[in-house]
Amino acid sequence: MAREDTGDIRQDPERDACITATSMFVGITGTTDIGRGIDPESLQEVLRRAFTLVRTIVSTHGGSVERFIGDAAFAVFGVPEPHVDDALRAVHAALEIRAATEALNTERHHNRDLRLRVRIGINTGEVTVAGGASGDPVNVASRLEHAAPAGEIFIGGTTYHLVRDSVTASEADPLVVQGRPVPLRVHRLIGLAAPSPAA
């Protein structure tokens, strides 16, 4: 289903061309099955609400949605305003998006076999920001999203290193990327780590 571009990231032409940022792809799954059970207008409304949730949650955590691509959203944290905790912001947003999508299913009272679910890929690295975030870290985030099963959040090695003290995660199958001699380490995000007890 085609979606219009939401516009490029705001950019000061005097800024450096590259910046370290965290990229996140959110894919919506289940739309084909749901589309068989409801009329096209209702399906459009379901998707509109889902992507509105994505945009709102990403914005709440200091990120921005660059564009929608089919049934996926591409968001970036750290452009144009970098934060020291952009990777953790992306992780918080991803967990909230997953929970909000499940809440949307409950609200719709839909057949449990016909549910919207998300799969999310997150990766951190140096991106080119002229004309919109791009580069190898963005491509890897997209690959992580495609590799993740429905309902799962996959994060790349650099992202995991930055957030590992704040999350619970398990190692997933390595990601084979064409042109790289060694597969990339992937972690499956489970949730936030329990706070340490006060001393």
For position 174, what pLDDT does the model report? 94
How confident is residue 4, by pLDDT bands cut at 50, 70 and 90? very low
Quick: pLDDT tens for 38-71: 667 777 787 888 899 999 999 999 999 999 998 8
Q: How far apart are CA 156 and CA 186, in angstroms?
A: 5
Neighbouring residues of 91: CB distance < 8 A, sequence distance ≥ 6: 122, 153, 155, 159, 163, 166, 167, 189, 192
For residue 8, pLDDT beyond 50: no
The pLDDT of residue 5? 44
List, for residues 149-189, the tens digit of each pLDDT value. Answer: 999 999 999 999 999 999 999 999 999 988 788 999 999 99
How does residue 90 score in pLDDT terms, banded at 50, 70 and 90? very high
Find the range with the poorest average confidence among 19-33, 88-102, 106-120, 177-191.
106-120
pLDDT for the residue numbered 51: 92
As a whole number of angstroms, the distance between CA 111 and CA 115 comes to 7
Which of 12-16, 55-59, 115-119 shows the lowest mean pLDDT across its residues?
12-16
pLDDT greater at residue 115 or residue 197: 115
Global pTM reads 0.85
Tell me which of 37 and 147 has the higher pLDDT.
Answer: 147
For domain 18-192, give the CATH superfamily: Nucleotide cyclase, GGDEF domain (3.30.70.1230)
pLDDT of residue 2: 41
Q: Are 105 and 115 in contact (CB under 8 A)?
A: yes
pLDDT at position 29 is: 87
